[in-house]
């Protein structure tokens, strides 16, 4: 019987629990003992490692967040902590580790892999900012949350003839804003990929104002600009009464959508299968309809493809 472990790290994402459940159950299928590492790499260094059973993962598949807890732990960039982590795993005879998180989490896995632990990474983040995979676990749940929130804003802005400027998450990736912007029929989207063009933004909103539209929506990725300031500019230069809304951490929570549950299950099962073949140093990815694996180092050096066609949709449909 071999021992493997699972940890979640970085920002939590809906679907992580489904992934943990699958790793435990599929692990049993392949004859592994499965351990849970609590609180990411921080817990790994502190030795927070417990054996998991079917019961520890029952009734979690529909819950957001992660039952294992997560942490940001910058100390893990230092080799001395990586060595302690590898030693803690070896003390439990664990030689395979599945990590669920973003690219920072993958960097931690790469470090551990170099200390003899076979690591497999699963992309779990709401931002969809991992270039090696088409979609990450949690993205579509966060997207649905953002879309539902913007639909609600539209109800009230329609009643008062207003424009809504809505900030969504995404860090350095505009996918949440792009997909949400398309889904709610926004006037304009502003993302790290498009940059902020004040004139184009105001022209798009002006077009709707002149056509007597009762509502308009601009969707913006976080950290791009001050949404309150943009709202004020729209009031002054377009005429719409305007409100800014920052959706914030509500986008992180909630029950995972069916798609995220299925994606988490397929990716997790694939990861366990890799470990059963004694393969580590990989991250799992979705490409088209297929679940595949990519070397961790390759995954970390890839560039994310930007869909100009998808960005173009917003401009084509507003007028
Ligand atoms: P998200 O995209 O949701 O923010 P993430 O995995 O990218 O997720 P980070 O905070 O960047 O989130 O990374 C998670 C953890 O991984 C860090 O707190 C740290 O413990 C570890 N980590 C990040 N970068 C490295 C690195 N270069 N070497 C070793 N460990 C790292």
Residues 194 and 120 in one domain: no
12 as an active site residue: the answer is: no
Q: Is 74 in the pocket of ligand 1 (CB under 6 A)?
A: yes
Residues 272 and 284 in one domain: yes
Domain tally, the chain:
2
Note whether residue 309 is domain-resident. Answer: no
Residue 307 has what pLDDT? 78
Residues 110 and 213 in one domain: no
Residues 179 and 118 in one domain: no
CA of 59 to the centre of ligand 1 (A): 28
Which residues make beta-bridge pairs with 101?
123
pTM of the model: 0.95
- State the residue range of the domain holding 100: 3-134+256-301
Distance of CA 114 to the CA centre of its chain: 26
CA of 185 to the centre of ligand 1 (A): 34
**Whether pLDDT at 41 is above 70:** yes
Residues 115 and 165 in one domain: no
Residues 260 and 240 in one domain: no
Note whether residue 307 is domain-resident. Answer: no
| Active-site entry in 93, 95, 103, 127 | 127
Cβ atoms of 195 and 225 closer than 8 Å: no
Question: Is residue 319 very low, low, confident or very high in pLDDT (cuts 50, 70, 90)?
Answer: low
Residue to mutate, 14, 74, 81, 107, ligand 1, most ligand atoms under 8 Å from C-beta: 107
In order of 181, 193, 220, the CA distances from 311 in angstroms are: 10, 9, 13
The angle, 0 to 180 degrees and rounded to 10, between the axes of the packed helices 198-210 and 308-318 is 30
Residues 158 and 264 in one domain: no
Question: Is residue 1 very low, low, confident or very high in pLDDT (cuts 50, 70, 90)?
Answer: low
Residue 261 has what pLDDT? 98
**Whether pLDDT at 108 is above 80:** yes
Q: Is 15 in the pocket of ligand 1 (CB under 6 A)?
A: no
End-to-end Cα distance, the chain: 63
Cβ neighbours around 71 below 10 Å, total: 16
Residue where one domain finishes, among candidates 252, 270, 285: 252
- Structure tokens, 219: 């969707």
CA of 40 to the centre of ligand 1 (A): 10
Q: What angle do CA 216, 238, 316 make, to 5 degrees?
A: 50
Q: Tokens 């969809």 — which residue?
A: 128
Q: Is 174 in the pocket of ligand 1 (CB under 6 A)?
A: no
Note whether residue 314 is domain-resident. Answer: no
CA of 291 to the centre of ligand 1 (A): 23
Q: Which CATH number is 103's domain given? A: 3.40.50.450
Residues 21 and 118 in one domain: yes
């Amino acid at each position: 019987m071999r021992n493997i472990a699972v940890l979640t790290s970085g920002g939590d994402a809906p679907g992580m629990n489904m992934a943990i459940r699958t790793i435990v159950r599929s692990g049993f299928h392949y004859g592994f003992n499965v351990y849970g590492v609590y609180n990411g790499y921080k817990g790994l260094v502190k030795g927070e490692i417990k054996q998991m059973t079917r019961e520890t993962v029952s009734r979690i598949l529909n819950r957001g967040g992660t039952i294992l807890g997560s942490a940001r732990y910058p100390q893990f960039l230092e080799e001395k902590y990586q060595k302690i982590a590898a030693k803690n795993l070896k003390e439990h005879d664990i030689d395979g580790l599945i990590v669920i998180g973003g690219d920072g989490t993958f960097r931690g896995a790469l470090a551990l892999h170099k200390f003899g632990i076979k690591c497999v990474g699963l992309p779990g983040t709401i931002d969809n900012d991992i270039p090696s995979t088409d979609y990450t676990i949690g993205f579509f749940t966060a997207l649905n949350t953002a879309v539902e929130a913007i639909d609600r804003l539209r109800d009230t802005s329609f009643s008062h003839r207003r424009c809504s400027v809505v900030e969504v998450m995404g860090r350095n990736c505009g996918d949440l804003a792009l997909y949400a912007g398309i889904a709610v029929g926004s006037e304009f989207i502003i993302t790290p990929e498009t940059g902020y063009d004040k004139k184009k933004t105001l022209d798009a909103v002006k077009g709707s104002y002149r056509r007597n539209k009762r509502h308009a929506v601009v969707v913006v990725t976080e950290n791009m600009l001050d949404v309150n300031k943009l709202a004020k500019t729209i009031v002054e230069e377009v005429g719409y009464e305007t409100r800014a809304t920052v959706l914030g951490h509500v986008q992180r929570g909630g029950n995972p959508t069916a798609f995220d549950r299925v994606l988490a299950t397929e990716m997790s099962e694939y990861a366990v299968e890799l470990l059963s073949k004694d393969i580590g140093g990989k991250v799992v990815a979705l490409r088209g309809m297929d679940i595949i694996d990519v070397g961790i180092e390759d995954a970390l050096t890839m560039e994310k493809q930007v869909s100009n066609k998808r960005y173009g949709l917003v401009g084509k449909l507003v007028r």
